Amino acid sequence: MAAPTILPSNHYICVGRNLAGLKKGDGVWSMQDNCAGITAYLKHYSMRGAAVVDYTRTWEQIDEMVLKSEDLGKQLDDHSPLAAELKEAKIGEIADVRQRAEAVYKLVLSKVEWNGRYEMSPAETEETLKNHGGSNVDINMLLLQSLNDVGLTAAPVMLRMRDQGVLTTDFPSIQKYTTFIVGVVSPQGNLYLDASSANGRFDALAELLQVEKARLVLKGNKGKWVNLR
């Protein structure tokens, strides 16, 4: 019997010394952003007699995963269950982009109420409307469909909330996202909307969502990093 093949491998030993203790400060959203540490990601692996399994991704590939996802992506092309009311209110005839978006926002938020939760996967918009509310992304999907139905260009803006730590872009992963808001693309400047802003200005994001890196994922176009602060 032939001797087994020993595959080459690397062993890393990391030692930390004299690491100062962390203290929660007023300006610190996530303690993990201030921790000293090492994070490893699996790039690929191979087994004898089998093809290499590659885990490497690009942000463009992550965009495609978002657009093809069952819960989020598949609803982007659907009409809003409020389409008839939007048409009856003649919101699509409002010339100014900001005023039209605000009219849609007010109509949607008059039908549903945010339950105080931030999530990642939206429910079906018909269910959200039937339940008269839901998480921020449940309502955001209803808002996104409604904005598109009045002739605006709306798309999900994927992000990692501030209390979950900074979104690092070195190693693309869909698991780094924790929620999404709605971006309205306009030549006069994009608008960024979220259901949790209902008690303030319609385009004033909650502080938890004001991150420096979020990704606008627009179907048929290359994804774009945007600053929400």
How far the first Cα of the chain sits from its last, in Å, is 65
Burial of 222 by CB count in 10 Å (0-12 exposed, 13-18 middle, 19+ buried)? exposed
Question: What's the CA angle centered on 215, arms 209 and 218, to 5 degrees?
Answer: 125
Q: What's the CA gap between 214 and 162, in Å, rounded? A: 11
The pLDDT value given to residue 17: 80
pLDDT digits (tens, 9 = 90+) for 95-136: 999 999 999 999 999 999 999 999 999 999 999 999 999 999
Place of tokens 């808001």: 181
Q: Does the pLDDT value for residue 23 go beyond 60? A: yes
Between 3.40.30.10, 3.40.309.10, 3.10.620.30, 3.30.565.10, what CATH number should domain 59-226 receive?
A: 3.10.620.30
Query: How many CB atoms lie under 10 A from the CB of residue 81?
Result: 18
CB 146 within 8 A of CB 86: yes
Q: What is the mean pLDDT of residues 61-67?
A: 94
For residue 86, name the pLDDT band (cuts at 50, 70, 90): very high
Give me the chain's average pLDDT, please. 87
Residue with more model confidence, 139 or 29 = 139
Residue with more model confidence, 78 or 22 = 78
For residue 34, name the pLDDT band (cuts at 50, 70, 90): low
User: CB neighbours of 83 closer than 8 A, spacing ≥ 6?
Assistant: 146, 149
Residue with more model confidence, 56 or 66 = 66
For the chain, percent of residues with pLDDT exceeding 70: 80
Taking the model in full, what pTM does it have?
0.82
Q: Does the pLDDT value for residue 144 go beyond 90? A: yes
Q: Where are the chain's structural domains?
A: 59-226
HEC profile of the chain: CCCCCCCCCCCCCCCCCCCCCCCCCCCCCCHHHHCCCCCCCCCEECCCCCCCEECCCCHHHHHHHHHHCCCCHHHCCCCCCCHHHHHHCCHHHCCCHHHHHHHHHHHHHHHCEECCCCCCCCCCHHHHHHCCEECHHHHHHHHHHHHHHCCCEEEEEEECCHHHCCCCCCCCCHHHCCEEEEEEECCCCCEEECHHHCCCCCCCCCHHHCCCCEEECCCCCCCEEECCC
Stretch among 12-16, 86-90, 150-154, 216-220 having the lowest mean pLDDT: 12-16
Number of alpha carbons in the 13 Å side-chain half-sphere of residue 191: 25
Q: Does the pLDDT value for residue 85 go beyond 60? A: yes
